[in-house]
Amino acid sequence: MASTEEVKEVDYSLSNPDTLTKYKEAAKISEKVLKTVSEWIKEDAVLIDLCEKGDALLADAVSKVFKGKKIAKGVGHPCTISPSSYITPYTPLKSDLEEAKTTLKVGEVVKIQLGAQIDGFGTIVCDNVVVGGKVAGREADLLLATHYANELLLRMMVPPGVVPAPEGAPAQKQFTQAKMNMLLEKVAKSYECNLVESTTTWLFERNEIEGKKKIILLPGDGVKGDGLPEVGEVWGVEMGLSLGSGKVKTLNNRTTLHRRTALTYGLKRPSSRATLSEIVKKFGTFPFSLRQLEDERAGKVGIVECVRGNVVRQYEVVADKDGEPVSRLFTTVAITKNGLTRLAAPPAFDPEQYKSDKKITDEEVLKILEQPLSKNADKTKKKKKKKTTAKKTTDAEESSDDE
């Protein structure tokens, strides 16, 4: 009798330590490359050059991990740098001569977004960098508002009961998307800013950065969020604010950022089939830029039928309707039984560095901002408090001895 081998189903959930390890390795790469690209931001720097160098760094770093393992790995999101009023990730093409000349201007709030993926576990991160480094006036208001709104959203995403409520506080309830929107708008209004229309936070899955669940801030007509975070999930958390109305407009720039969909379609043109074949092989279902294809010009031709047949989705270039500065943060987080962990996150933000005459006064918002994201964070806070108290006691005793 012939023996049959059982094919073991691989556990790709967070309960498998291997999954978390891959997420963390991808996250380290994403954060490291983001830091390096941020250091390149200066007046008159050519945007496309920075994007290409960022991609090269991502690819090189990913190639050095999990060597010898038969797993897919690579760029999970190309390096994109969005000028001040741009909302969506942006990267021009060298073959589009006018856009290829785009340079950075002093005082601009640019958004750097990129990511790495290992075995289909992608970690995307985005941060705001002001060209020239000096931040004052309304740009300071914008960045402060974005920071606090992002921190508030992260705390509202923690499922109730995961992190114990402060002593004497009422039992926690799950925040609805309507409640999230209401409280986040309060933060934005505190700094005279507006949420960017249809800013979307997605459930991340293996080989999928736009899962079945999503949280939409300031949803547009006919659009609504669906689902809330649960323990065992990974999410890509996006926060976008504007000094303008927050309403969006589509620009005339060429769409260069794309992603393969799950649909199939019989492509008629050989150029289209060749382009799709390269996309599948190089990027899987992760976002990519046409400039990452072997032949950029051929890719511009081949992608047309792919988009028309819906086998590839294009990300149009969108900006603030009023042309005002826009900020964006993106954090990849894991929700575990201990709370929320930032896997890939922008660098730590120091509010003291930004001067503003505005502040949050809403008591409910302030109370939520005080809450820890995880049980471990609470323990660390207590340990620090203990150490500080012990140091004060020791200093007081030494002072007393001196007397």
HEC string of the chain equals CCCCCCCCCCCCCCCCHHHHHHHHHHHHHHHHHHHHHHHHCCCCCEHHHHHHHHHHHHHHHHHCCCCCCCCCEEEEEEEEEECCCECCCCCCCCCCHHHHCCECCCCCEEEEEEEEEECCEEEEEEEEEECCCCCCHHHHHHHHHHHHHHHHHHHHHCCCCCCCCCCCCCCCCCCCHHHHHHHHHHHHHHCCCEECCCEEEEEEECCECCCCCEEEECCCCCCCCECCCCCCEEEEEEEEEECCCCCEEECCCCCCEEEECCCCCCCCCHHHHHHHHHHHHHHCCCCEEHHHCCCHHHHHHHHHHHHHCCCEEEECCEEECCCCCEEEEEEEEEEECCEEEEEECCCCCCHHHCCCCCCCCCHHHHHHHHCCCEHHHHHHHHHHHHHHHHHHHHHHHHHHHHC
| Tokens standing for residue 336 | 């575990």
- Placement of tokens 């049980």 in the chain: 375
Residues 96, 146, single domain; the answer is yes
Task: Report phi then psi at 33, rounded to 5.
Answer: -70, -40
Residues 32, 110, single domain; the answer is yes
CA triple 287-194-112, angle to 5 deg: 30
Residues 127, 274, single domain; the answer is no
Contact 146, 218 (CB under 8 A): no
Please check whether residue 310 lies inside any domain of the structure: yes
- Domain that includes residue 333, residue range: 17-252+325-377
pTM to 2 decimal places: 0.90
Please check whether residue 403 lies inside any domain of the structure: no
Residues 152, 264, single domain; the answer is no
Residues 341, 275, single domain; the answer is no
Please check whether residue 393 lies inside any domain of the structure: no
CATH number reported for the structural domain that contains residue 204 in this entry: 3.90.230.10
CA triple 157-382-158, angle to 5 deg: 5
The pLDDT of residue 168? 66
Please check whether residue 30 lies inside any domain of the structure: yes
Please check whether residue 299 lies inside any domain of the structure: yes
Sheet holding 312-315, edge to edge: 288-289, 257-260, 312-315
Residues 40, 188, single domain; the answer is yes
Please check whether residue 153 lies inside any domain of the structure: yes
Residues 243, 259, single domain; the answer is no
CB atoms within 10 A of CB 72: 15
Please check whether residue 66 lies inside any domain of the structure: yes
CB atoms within 10 A of CB 390: 10
Residues 33, 133, single domain; the answer is yes
CATH number reported for the structural domain that contains residue 283 in this entry: 1.10.10.10
Q: Report the Cα 227 to chain-centroid distance in Å.
A: 19
Residues 265, 145, single domain; the answer is no
Of 41, 29, 110, 36, give the one whose Cα is nearest residue 74: 29
Overall domain count for the chain:
2
Kindly report, residue by residue over 106-158, the tens digit of the pLDDT: 999 999 999 999 999 999 999 999 999 888 899 999 999 999 999 999 999 99
Please check whether residue 143 lies inside any domain of the structure: yes
Low-confidence ranges of the chain (pLDDT < 50): 1-4, 378, 380-381, 388-394, 396-400, 402-403
The pLDDT of residue 59? 96
Q: What is the torsional sign of CA 303, 326, 159, 16?
A: positive
| Tokens standing for residue 327 | 């900020």
Residues 103, 171, single domain; the answer is yes
Residues 344, 303, single domain; the answer is no
Residues 63, 149, single domain; the answer is yes
The pLDDT of residue 7? 60
CA triple 24-26-30, angle to 5 deg: 110
Of 75, 74, 92, give the one whose Cα is nearest residue 83: 92
